[in-house]
Amino acid sequence: MMKKIAASTIAQKVRDLCIEANCILSSDVLQALERAEKEEESQIGREIISQLIDNARIAREEMLPLCQDTGVAVFFVEMGTGVFIEGDLIEAINEGVRKGYTEGYLRKSIVSDPLNRVNTGDNTPAIVHVDIVPGDELKIFFLPKGGGSENMSGIKMLTPAAGKEGVIDFVVQKVKEAGSNPCPPIVVGVGIGGTFEKAAILAKKALLRPLGMRNPRPDLASLEEEILTRINNLGIGPQGFGGRITALAVNILTHPCHITALPVAVNIECHAHRHKEIVL
């Protein structure tokens, strides 16, 4: 027996998801900021983090977006094999984005063509990644991704000889180059392995893991800690004014890869790290 879900239900849920994720900072990020405020050594750094916490309170109370860049609407969908969608999944998501961004007074930041650059006026189309998984649930993860931090991201096709050290150096190098641009303290998504495109998708997907939760594989958990320490030794600090807390977390995802290859992708995310999921 298939579980039936109407496209109109998906559109309505996505509408609400867009508004809530953009106005209500999730508790994992808020807690990470509160912890960072205690740990930050620089006075101006502490003051900035305190303003970010204030900003989150105002946004929540007044349902104002945390940041004016309400992002490109990125979705990761996990669709159970036992789910039957009555209608078009992608169109339903786009309809939800259209409604959410219009009715929620969110900014429309998408141009229809990268070269001709005319605003589509409703923040569509969304970027949607779909995985088919066992079960009868439809999980929708939403990540409104800001442009300033996205622009600081990068990928490198390392060779196996570069090893763990090569990966660490590349990630730290990208964060160093980004400096004050991506609104530190940042969150760093890292994809290691797969292919050119797989590594980039993994780096973004890694951002979905709640802050404060380490990789279940002990060696990767320790690699996350090691990279975070290296990043925080850069001294960039909150907003790049100098300080201890340059990143709140490093999240890694890995995938098997070719014998010749060691792809590594870094997706940089600002402190206004908006992510939310729903299960239908």
Q: Applying CB under 8 A, which residues contact another protein?
A: 41-44, 47-48, 51-52, 54-55, 58-59, 62-70, 105-109, 117, 119, 121, 147-148, 151, 179-183, 233-237, 239-244, 270-272
Cβ closest to another protein, residue 48 vs residue 201 = 48
Separation CA 202–CA 78 (nearest Å): 14
Closest separation between CB of residue 77 and another protein, Å? 26
Report, in Å, the least distance between residue 215 CB and another protein. Answer: 25
Q: How far is the CB of 162 from another protein (least distance, A)?
A: 22
- Nearer of residues 185 and 193 to another protein, judged by Cβ: 185
CB of 107 to another protein, least distance (A): 4
**Of residues 27 and 51, the one with the C-beta less far from another protein:** 51
CB closer to another protein, 91 vs 122: 122
Residue 209 to residue 82: CA distance in whole angstroms: 25
Q: In this complex, which beta carbon is closest to another protein, that of residue 13 or of residue 271?
A: 271
Instruction: Tell me which residue of 18, 146, 152 sits closest to 93, measured CA to CA.
Output: 18
CA atoms within 13 A on the CB side of 255: 21
Task: State the minimum distance, in angstroms, from the CB of residue 116 to another protein.
Answer: 12
| Structure-token match 């298939």, residue found | 2
Nearest residue to 5 (alpha-carbon basis) of 190, 278, 188: 278
**CB closer to another protein out of 81 and 151:** 151
Q: Cβ of residue 196: shortest distance to another protein, in angstroms?
A: 26
